[in-house]
């Protein structure tokens, strides 16, 4: 089966979803660094992305804090390990590149972790926006720092609203 794609609107702009029978292989924002050019071999078909579209709508509505989708990212084994760690960062929380390198067992890989993070092909679902600089600054996001700030603010707001309903 050839790669399929669709686009969905979101509060941070149009999102391009790519995938095949193995799952979602890409979720890119407009003008995203390292984003793909549209390939004429891709076929437009929103049907395979119904779950992803629904879950993204729930995420942006504040009703979803975790994604449950079949993922099929490309990448090297090291990149896939980093992307796996990104999926473990809790909703509304952040970590640093150094902490991820430490979790991989080699603090000297911090730059490689940053590169892998920057090449994450499945933004939002694999939450690379939750990685910040060691000093707490917002750094390095392929979708742009304004979008990173917006995603983190959205998650903080949803998390605070959830806490408020518990009291």
Per-residue pLDDT tens over the stretch 16-43: 999 988 999 999 998 776 777 778 888 9
Lowest mean pLDDT: which of 52-61, 81-90, 131-140, 155-164? 155-164
Active-site residue, from 126, 128, 131, 158: 128
Q: Which domains does the chain have, with CATH numbers?
A: 4-61 (3.30.160), 77-166 (1.10.10.10)
Angle between helices 110-118 and 77-86 (to 10 degrees): 80
Among residues 127, 132, 131, the alpha carbon closest in space to that of 59 is found at 127
Q: What is the mean pLDDT of residues 68-72?
A: 96
19, 22, 40, 47, 80 from 59: Cα distances, Å: 20, 23, 30, 19, 23
pTM of the model: 0.89
Q: Looking up tokens 């504040």, which residue turns up?
A: 62
Burial class (CB in 10 A: 0-12, 13-18, 19+), 112: middle
Please indicate whether residue 79 is annotated as part of the active site.
Answer: no
């Amino acid at each position: 089966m050839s790669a399929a794609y669709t686009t969905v609107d979101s509060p941070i702009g149009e999102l391009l979803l790519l995938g095949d029978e193995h799952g979602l292989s890409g979720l890119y924002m407009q003008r995203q660094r390292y984003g793909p050019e549209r390939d004429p071999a891709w076929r437009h078909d929103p049907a395979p992305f119904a779950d992803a579209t629904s879950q993204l709508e729930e995420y942006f509505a504040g009703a979803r804090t975790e994604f449950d989708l079949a993922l099929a990212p490309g990448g090297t084994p090291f990149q896939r390990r980093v992307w796996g760690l990104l999926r473990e960062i809790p909703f509304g929380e952040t970590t640093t590149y150094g902490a991820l390198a430490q979790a991989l067992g080699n603090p000297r890989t911090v730059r490689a972790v940053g590169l892998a993070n920057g090449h994450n092909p499945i933004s939002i679902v694999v939450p690379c926006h939750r990685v910040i600089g060691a000093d707490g600054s917002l750094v390095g996001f392929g979708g742009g720092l304004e979008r990173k700030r917006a995603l983190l603010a959205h998650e903080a707001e949803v998390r605070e609203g959830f806490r408020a309903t518990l009291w």
